[in-house]
Structure 1
Amino acid sequence: ALMVGTGRGAQLGILIKGPEVLETTRRADTVVLDKTGTVTTGRMELRDVVAAGGEDESEVLRLAGALEHASEHPVARAIAAGAAERVGTLPAVEGFENTAGLGVRGTVEGREVAVGRERLLAESALELPPELAGARAAAEAEGRTAVAVAWDGKVRGLLAVADAVKPTSAEAITRLRALGLTPVLLTGDNRAVAESVAREVGIDEVIAEVMPQDKVDVVKRLQSEGRSVAMVGDGVNDAAALAQADLGLAMGTGTDAAIEAGDLTLVRGDLRTAADAIRLSRRTLATIKGNLFWAFGYNVAALPLAASGLLNPMIAGAAMAFSSVFV
């Protein structure tokens, strides 16, 4: 049953690490979904550039793009790509510093530049001017992620990036619910963006504005509430949470760290495969139990007959071979 189950899983694009995974899938009642790269495509695009009064949009984008070019975050890559496309060659960065979950800092052409969330700016006692605060609220209402750009002690602009929801995510959520799982959306993005995505795919429970290192704490908290947690993720930031979860499902399109930490790997990166994986694992476990039941019953019925001499040894041998084929 295990060989057939893992073989069928490979056909469906699911890699199962070991038989102990099967028991875990049966118990799971909550599935925590990382947003970026799991529910959404993870391919961010720069949608809008808003400059504060008296600032040049091109300069805002050029300095922000130069700084973000040194980062590997999906939002950073979108900004860097958008900047390179719109303003051309980007200047070099010195003293690059990444604050996980908040943003980046560095020196560009002698200017101390910071690009990131409001909390990053607050550490330097910087506030968004009214026009940028309004632009941020409008962007978040549309489900976009807003990133502020500051240099020389002043917030100069705002960049809005968007990440499209995978076309199969809503169907995947429906399938997971049908399996008796409660979906939870987990993200470091602000709550407005997270809730916009959650509404689109049909998720009711949202945990937003979570720092990367705190994702594992969220999983622990859910487990302390008596839930059996399955976690689906794709990034380096998800690896610890995948390892902590009762069942870790890693997107095959994600990082090696996430794949190594997961119990199951979804090769195609399609969230519907998560439902397939859980259904396949449960079916395999049910087959194992069915095989055990029939094998036990078969022998309980036949052994007394053989012991009493009522069963011909040739028939007994044939029956034993048939039982193996039946299983």
Structure 2
Amino acid sequence: MTAQLAPALVAVLTLALAVALAAYVAAPALAHALARRRGRASGVSLPARAALAAAPHVDLLVADAAAVTTGRLRVVDVAPARAGDERNLRWFAGALGHGAEDPVSRALARSSPRGHLSGVTSQDGLGLCGSVDRHPVRVGQPAWLGDLDHGGGSGSTVAVEVDGRLLGRITLAAEPRPDAAATLTALAGRGIEPVLVSSGPAADLERLAGEVGTARCVHLPGPGDLSALVSGLRAEGRVVALAGPDCGADLRLTDAGPDPGAVVLDELDIASVAAALDLARSVHRTARLLRRVALALAVLAAAGLGAVALLRLL
């Protein structure tokens, strides 16, 4: 090696070693900055790195049942008062439903053409009444229509009366998101157990959990039950991510921003929650990868310096 080349090579290798070591130290901050930039492009705001410390270890996600629904209702059961009346039950209830915009009416309307409507009025939250093809029709709470045998149960149940006769009942429930089952399955495949919670009827929650393929759901009727659930899960050694209010979870995702201690999303639907959780967990993976690359470069630079020193001794 020429005398002129050796100093230049040593300078280059020394600089490379310094840069590699600096990159090793800066890797976590760089990974966090890259993740925050990706998040902004998709409507996700990541908190400071300290708030994401538990993200790589999360093994359970608690999410409200609303996260796996579209926000709409759909018909889940039709119970005519007399055999053979199911078609008429759907027709009259759906036709009258075209005359209103509340969630129950919209769900009923999707199962029937409009028909000829007249005189449709809302009865103080009890239901609707009007005329469908000149038949007087009422749709609403069973007790309002004298359906005293209605025993409650899951979903929103309405009774249907046509021409002064009880035609039957229709039960509606929350409509699952088309991507909910696949998203929850993917989360489980990545080692994150999904748990659905709701303060609504327990039967509705169990029905929804079965439809989206979630093995675990918890009914939370009281205001403090969510905090107690999270505390209990953490006491079991679980690392909990929570899509919802601040209840002491290891990692929190919310749509009520800005919040410096939580991952903030535009919406808390399950697909967005899963994507945001993946983004939060990616910070640690990216930092580890960057450190491995930096360490490899540092080793190569140090080996080069050692080789140059050895050649100069020979």
TM-score bin (small chain) = 0.5 to 0.7
Q: Check conservation: 2:59, 2:191, Cα contact below 8 A.
A: yes
Spell out, residue by residue over 1:239-264, the C-alpha distance to the aligned partner (whole angstroms, 9 max, x if none): 233xx1111122x4xxx37x648621
Quickly say closer, same or farther: Cα 1:187–1:272, change in 2 above 3 A: same
Pick from 213, 230, 242 the counterpart of residue 219 of structure 1: 230
Cα offset, 1:80, TM superposition: 12
User: Which residue is 1:186 aligned to?
Assistant: 197
Distance 2:213 2:288 in 1: 34
Q: Check conservation: 1:12, 1:273, Cα contact below 8 A.
A: no
Aligned-partner SS, 2:53: helix
Cα offset, 1:161, TM superposition: 5.8
Pick from 119, 132, 137 the counterpart of residue 150 of structure 2: 132
Q: Check conservation: 2:220, 2:226, Cα contact below 8 A.
A: no
TM-score (norm 2): 0.57
Distance 1:274 1:228 in 2: 16
Quickly say closer, same or farther: Cα 1:260–1:283, change in 2 above 3 A: closer
User: Which residue is 2:69 aligned to?
Assistant: 40
Cα offset, 1:211, TM superposition: 1.7
Cα offset, 1:218, TM superposition: 0.8
Cα offset, 1:223, TM superposition: 0.8
Q: Check conservation: 1:248, 1:261, Cα contact below 8 A.
A: no
User: Which residue is 2:175 aligned to?
Assistant: 164
Which runs of 5 or more structure 1 residues have no equivalent in the other structure?
Answer: 49-76, 92-128, 148-157, 234-238, 312-327
Distance 1:262 1:189 in 2: 28
**Identical aligned residues as a percent:** 26
Deviates more, 1:260-269 or 1:218-227: 260-269
Aligned-pair RMSD on alpha carbons?
Answer: 3.9
Aligned-partner SS, 2:55: helix
User: Which residue is 1:240 aligned to?
Assistant: 246
Deviates more, 1:23-32 or 1:296-305: 296-305
The alignment covers a number of residue pairs equal to: 216
The residue type equivalent to 2:175 in the other structure is A
Distance 1:240 1:17 in 2: 14
TM-score (norm 1): 0.55
Quickly say closer, same or farther: Cα 1:39–1:25, change in 2 above 3 A: same
Spell out, residue by residue over 1:267-304, the C-alpha distance to the aligned partner (whole angstroms, 9 max, x if none): 24441122222323333321211222332343344347
Quickly say closer, same or farther: Cα 1:46–1:78, change in 2 above 3 A: farther
The residue type equivalent to 1:39 in the other structure is V
User: Which residue is 1:321 aligned to?
Assistant: none
Spell out, residue by residue over 1:3-56, the C-alpha distance to the aligned partner (whole angstroms, 9 max, x if none): 2211112223322122234432210001111112x12233568999xxxxxxxx
Cα offset, 1:232, TM superposition: 1.6
The residue type equivalent to 1:248 in the other structure is R
Aligned-partner SS, 2:149: helix
Q: Check conservation: 2:61, 2:193, Cα contact below 8 A.
A: yes
User: Which residue is 1:236 aligned to?
Assistant: none
Q: How does 1:287-302 map to 2 (within 5 A)?
A: 287-302=286-301
Q: How does 1:88-107 map to 2 (within 5 A)?
A: 88=122, 90=124
The structure number with the bigger radius of gyration is: 2
Distance 1:167 1:81 in 2: 19
Distance 2:75 2:121 in 1: 13
In the alignment, structure 1 residue 249 sits paired with structure 2 residue 253: yes
User: Which residue is 1:14 aligned to?
Assistant: 44
Aligned-partner SS, 2:191: coil
Aligned-partner SS, 1:249: strand
Larger RCO of the pair (alpha carbons < 8 Å, separation 6+): 2
User: Which residue is 2:212 aligned to?
Assistant: 201
